[in-house]
A and B are shown apart, each in its own frame.
Chain A
Amino acid sequence: MSDDLTVIGQILESDRAAVLQDWLGEIRATAGLGASTKTLNADTESLLKGLDKGIKSGQDGTHLDGTAWEALKDALEELSSSGAAQGISAAQTSAVVMALKRPLFERVQARLANDPVRMASGIWTVSTLVDRLSQFTLATYQKTREAVIARQQQELLELSTPVVKLWEGVLAVPMIGTLDSNRTQLVMESLLQRIVDTGSELAIIDITGVPTVDTLVAQHLLKTVTAIRLMGADCIISGIRPQIAQTIVHLGIDLQGITTKASLADALALALKRGGYIVTRAKA
């Protein structure tokens, strides 16, 4: 094993520039990348450097877990995360690494032409090594993507629950999207906090943007309403579409004791009326 790695080390030592050149050529031919060649040059350069360092250290490269392989891993992470950020596909990113096979194969072949047994094992070593690099790249690529997804989910969660002030002492939350426990918790927390901060006596929860209401969603709504009442404020649920009203009745959900209105406008009108306001038209 280490003997075969030494061969690769020698190859990198003697004609690194040529390997790099062939590799870049191979990448252009197979990966079909439109990415800027400048970053690609830098990336491949640092990859080879890292590989060289790892091999020279003589540490076992089976799992790439020695300290000497850190530089190589860093380079691979850099390659895959920049690929993920630029929108390059996972296949293309791993193809960049896989393209290293041919230049190395050719050189191992040339170097060990008169020793078929060693040549075969040398090629095997190169193959497994590059495969491992590729696997690592893919894993990192996926991790980067998952981080992006998690961040977007969080942003979506925060974006979709704004608490707006409609009038002095009247707050409104336009709910958009399906209500699950997490969302309800977040809405409840931000709404209750705003009630305390502003001293508002009335909160309107508008569920126009909630696609479906089932028993679970209703339960979450009831919880929110109860919490608001416990704080000493009042709550109106608005934006109940005809279909949803039918569903609520058919499911036997009890909304007794909760003020409900068909639209946000109706809810605001009621809120103003309760506050003692009269809306009149200045001109007929």
Chain B
Amino acid sequence: MTEGQQRIPILRMGKCLLVTIQVDLQDQTALALQDDLSAKIDQVGASGVIIDISALEIVDSFIGRMLAGISGIASVLGATTVVVGMQPAVAITLVELGLSLQGVKTALNVERGMQILAGTIDEVDTSGD
């Protein structure tokens, strides 16, 4: 990691982690986020992750793959990932790139994303009882 590297903040809300991507992602930043997020999930024992990409306007295949990757890593660590607020242009680009992000949960905005997470966490809790 180089000095002064841009890092995406990860906010904790109870059992959930909230990642808001406000800048255009560089490949290095994305990789750093992947590292930070997996460490944080492990550290706080999070059961849900919300990635808000409503400010993201440019994606490439790498970022698309990284989103799928984060979701996969989180689910291995026992957390559900919801990608929220994808812009129409981004969605079209990902489809044209052939990335359908199978297995990644999506929602229109953070609120809906929280609802989805609340639903899945309840399920986990009740199944655990």
Contact = CB atoms under 8 A, between A and B. Distances in A.
B19 to A, nearest CB: 16
A192 B112 CA distance: 17
Given A230-B86, A232-B86, A201 B108 contact: yes
Interface in B62-96: 83-88, 90-92, 94-96
A contact patch SS: helix
Interface string B90-118: 11101110001100001111001100000
Nearest to B96: A223
Contacts of B91: 192, 227-228, 230-231
Contacts of B112: 201, 232
A196 B87 contact: yes
B109 A230 contact: no
Interface of A: 185, 188-189, 192-193, 195-196, 199, 201, 223, 226-233
B87 A188 contact: no
The number of chain B residues touching the other chain, given as a range, is 20 to 34
A163 B100 CA distance: 24
Contact of A232 (B95, B100, B106): B106
Given A196-B87, A201-B112, A226-B100, A188 B106 contact: no
Contact of B86 (A185, A193, A223, A231): A231
B contact patch SS: mixed
Contacts of A199: 108-109
B82 to A, nearest CB: 8
Contacts of B106: 229-232
B86 A188 contact: no
Given A196-B88, A227-B92, A229-B106, 6 more contacts: A189-B88, A228-B91, A230-B100, A232-B83, A232-B86, A232-B113
A223 B97 CA distance: 11
A23 to B, nearest CB: 58
Q: Which 10 A-B pairs have the closest CB atoms?
A: A192-B88, A232-B106, A232-B107, A230-B91, A227-B91, A232-B108, A226-B100, A227-B95, A223-B95, A226-B95
A189 B113 CA distance: 23
Q: Taking each of A189, A192, A228, which has the highest tally of chain B beta carbons within 10 Å of its own beta carbon?
A: A192
Nearest to A190: B88
Contacts of A230: 83, 86, 90-91, 94-95, 100-101, 106
Contacts of B101: 230
Contacts of B100: 226, 229-230
A229 B96 CA distance: 14
Q: Taking each of A195, A196, A232, A233, which has the highest tally of chain B beta carbons within 10 Å of its own beta carbon?
A: A232
Nearest to B88: A192
Contacts of A229: 100, 106
A192 B92 contact: yes
A47 B115 CA distance: 74
A232 B94 contact: no
A226 B87 CA distance: 14
16 contacts: A193-B88, A195-B88, A196-B87, A201-B108, A223-B96, A227-B94, A229-B100, A230-B83, A230-B86, A230-B91, A230-B100, A230-B101, A230-B106, A231-B106, A232-B112, A233-B108
Contacts of A192: 88, 91-92
